[in-house]
Amino acid sequence: MSQNIVQKIITSHLVAGRPIPGEEVAIRIDQTLTQDATGTMAYLQLEAMDIPRVRTELSVSYVDHNTLQNGFENADDHRFLQDIAAKYGIIFSRAGNGICHQVHLERFAAPGKTILGSDSHTPTAGGVGALGIGAGGLEVAVAMAGGPLYLIMPEVVRVNLKGKLPPWVSAKDVILEVLRRLSVKGGVGKIIEYGGEGVKTLSVPERATITNMGAELGATSSIFPSDEVTLAFLRSVGREKDWVELQPDPDANYSQVIEIDLSTLEPMVARPHSPDNVAKVREVGPIKVDQVAIGSCTNSSYTDLMRVAAILKGKVVHPDVSLVISPGSRQVFRMLAANGALADLIDAGARILECACGPCIGMGQAPPSGGVSVRTFNRNFQGRSGTADALVYLASPEVAAATALRGVLTDPRELGEAPVVTMPERFPVDDKMLIFPPADGTKVEVRRGPNIKPLPKAQPLAGRITAQVLLKLGDNITTDHISPAGAKYLPLRSNIPALAEHAFEGVDPTFASRAKKAGSGILVGGQNYGQGSSREHAALCPMYLGVKAVIAKSFARIHRSNLINFGILPLTFVDGNAYEQIEQEDILEIDLQDGFAAETLTVYNTTKGTSFQVRHDLTTRQQEIIRAGGLLNYTRERN
């Protein structure tokens, strides 16, 4: 039977189930990655599983999010992560070594491998033909303990690329065009597989930009073939032995085929406050800009920053613009320093930040009040930048650099001839900032700071849920809405009681106090509830505050899994009109005495004397997890 690339990888890693769209499958995970904002909790969960060493082929712990050390909390977390890595056989990437997805692409990701990461942009690895999937930290901990990843087998969508990108148009414009067509919820339940003759014109870093931002589609993953371009990249970083060819069979089937002629694309921009609010730069117009930020796991590769340096060389950033640049990895940073490009950036007035996520997650460099910021990042959710009323636009490095020079949103084609940057035949490989674990970690002492608190315990599901609607929310509620990002909040990721005080803070500052007073609660949401980050804290904090169920029109994949993993029941409306009839503070009752035998459950609104139907769509395994009070309890019961 002919197969596409996704089917080939999943079939070769299949542990249980049938790889038929809509059915649950379990797949073996080859590699895992964590970062420090989600990793501390993941490793606390790994400790609770009581295994001596990780059982994956490779696991890496990165420090790239919480690198702003304005208190002891982040430094304590980094020390804890380094100790845990040594004890459990995990490679530790020190602060300053780079952003997890950029470094993993350079050093570890390989064609045909399955990679599970506690970060939603793990699909970046699809740039080399690996199947990268983002998940909550608990699922990553289970994978490190040797367990499979369970997921609903996605549909596979083929994006057929033909032609070649014209000058000044880049990979960022390709994924913005896909987002324009499909929207932030158009990839839910799907994996995007790229193919066609146009693929050969894209380098691995360009492919990785596209697969990285595929997370904003809501897609499970995105992937490119492994071909001669992939081989050239792996050879350039000294990993030729990792290459295998990976192509779909000529007559492979797809649920949908999308055609994109690269030669017809032009510079694009995502307007506030959603990555799919896309238009052509020339149509948006020359709006005044206060800040430009270049970097993130989407656009911080060597070739990205070399193009920026070429555009800025011999010029000076507009006096009304603050330009900040974050190299994606130490390798990229060193190369820019060695070839003089770093001096060109500095001479132009750029402020060089460390090799970390930085402003992308609100870790510094907030725009001014009401300011306009053009960023090469992947998300522009309201308030994510650190300034609630800022207007954030997402664009390519070329658009960002041209904008920094002109002081207004600028189509880079106005600058004249485009710079030509080529991939080097060899990258200087330097792994000094990677700490490899000892052969025996049994004698390693794990040091814990006072901000690292024990895991909150979820309770088994009761036979009846009777609770108040604590919040009624609209469409596209993000994990940033639920558990905020930024320098104020990220140091609390190891301390759920403290972090929970800020749950839904930007939506309703009284939420945490009301939830604690109520003792239990239900949340009601619209379409695509929980889009964005993989952070399980957006489920952990509501669970800690007593939330028992979330009823929404639809859920983002990772967040729905996280809710289940922490014992919160995710339900969807059978009739969307029922959403309109619910008000905040209504008392809802869900009778679960018969369990989940029926596909639908009845919810009684005792305040209004009405009822409505909801679907649970839980697999048998997920039902057992919910009954146990979450995945950790479920796993303990079976060990």
Alpha-carbon distance 304 to 170, whole Å?
9
- Check: CB of residue 448 under 8 Å from CB of residue 80: yes
Please tell me which residue in 101, 104, 535, 557 is annotated as part of the active site: 535
What sign for the dihedral angle of Cα 116, 119, 123, 127? negative
Alpha-carbon distance 611 to 414, whole Å?
60
Alpha-carbon distance 114 to 31, whole Å?
6
The verdict on whether omega for the bond into residue 101 sits within 30 degrees of 0, i.e. cis, is: no
Least Cα distance to 184 among 446, 418, 527, 526 occurs for 527
What sign for the dihedral angle of Cα 102, 300, 65, 221? negative
Query: What does the block give as tokens for 229?
Result: 């371009």
Please tell me which residue in 53, 65, 107, 502 is annotated as part of the active site: 65
Q: Is there a catalytic annotation at residue 617?
A: no
Please tell me which residue in 121, 379, 413, 616 is annotated as part of the active site: 379
Query: What does the block give as tokens for 26?
Result: 């379990």
> What DSSP letter does each residue of 55-120 carry, written as one string?
-SSEEEEE--SS---SSHHHHHHHHHHHHHHHHHT-EEE-TTSB-HHHHHHHHT--TT-EEEESST
Q: Which residue has the tokens 């603050």?
A: 322
User: What pLDDT score does 490 carry?
Assistant: 84
Q: What is the pTM of this model?
A: 0.93
Q: Is there a catalytic annotation at residue 36?
A: no
Alpha carbon dihedral 220, 97, 139, 629, in 10-degree steps, equals -120
Helix or strand holding residue 133 (H, E): strand 131-134
pLDDT tens column, 433-443: 999 999 999 99
Q: What percent of the chain has pLDDT over 90?
A: 90
Collapsing DSSP to helix, strand or coil, 639 comes out as coil
Query: What does the block give as tokens for 32?
Result: 């895992």
- Rounded (5°) CA angle 479-149-624: 85
Q: Is there a catalytic annotation at residue 379?
A: yes
Pairing of strands 372-375, 587-591: unpaired
Query: What does the block give as tokens for 467?
Result: 């609770």
Please tell me which residue in 36, 64, 76, 290 is annotated as part of the active site: 64
What sign for the dihedral angle of Cα 348, 349, 352, 353? negative
Q: Is there a catalytic annotation at residue 621?
A: no
Contacts for 322 with CB less than 8 Å, ≥ 6 apart? 290, 291, 292, 351, 365
User: What pLDDT score does 362 carry?
Assistant: 87
Q: Is there a catalytic annotation at residue 251?
A: no
pLDDT tens column, 376-393: 999 999 999 999 999 999
Least Cα distance to 303 among 472, 156, 155, 171 occurs for 171
Contacts for 620 with CB less than 8 Å, ≥ 6 apart? none
Q: Is there a catalytic annotation at residue 636?
A: no
Pairing of strands 587-591, 569-573: unpaired
- Rounded (5°) CA angle 129-380-541: 90
Alpha-carbon distance 555 to 486, whole Å?
24
Alpha-carbon distance 551 to 611, whole Å?
13
Residue type, 606: T
Low-confidence ranges of the chain (pLDDT < 50): none
Alpha-carbon distance 250 to 255, whole Å?
15
Choose the CATH number for 268-414 among 3.30.360.10, 2.40.50.140, 3.40.50.180, 3.30.499.10.
Answer: 3.30.499.10
Scored b (16 or more CB within 10 A) or e, 611-629 reads: ebebebebbebbbebbbbb
Task: Encode 477-513 in three state secondary structure.
Answer: CEHHHHCCCCCCCHHHCCCHHHHHCCCCCCCCCCHHH
Domain range list for the chain: 5-264, 268-414, 464-638
| Class of the CATH domain delimited by 5-264 | alpha beta
- Check: CB of residue 185 under 8 Å from CB of residue 554: yes
Note the Cα 362 to chain centre separation in Å: 15
Topology of domain 464-638, CATH = Aconitase; domain 4 (3.20.19)
Helix or strand holding residue 259 (H, E): strand 256-261
Please tell me which residue in 76, 77, 83, 119 is annotated as part of the active site: 119
- Check: CB of residue 408 under 8 Å from CB of residue 424: no
Note the Cα 316 to chain centre separation in Å: 34
Terminal Cα-to-Cα distance of the chain (whole angstroms) = 38
- Rounded (5°) CA angle 566-570-572: 175
pLDDT tens column, 48-79: 888 999 999 999 999 999 888 888 999 999 99
Residue type, 631: L
Scored b (16 or more CB within 10 A) or e, 533-568 reads: bbbbbbbbbbbbbbbbbbbbbbbbbbbbbbbbbbbb
Assess whether the region 5-264 and the region 268-414 belong to the same CATH fold: yes
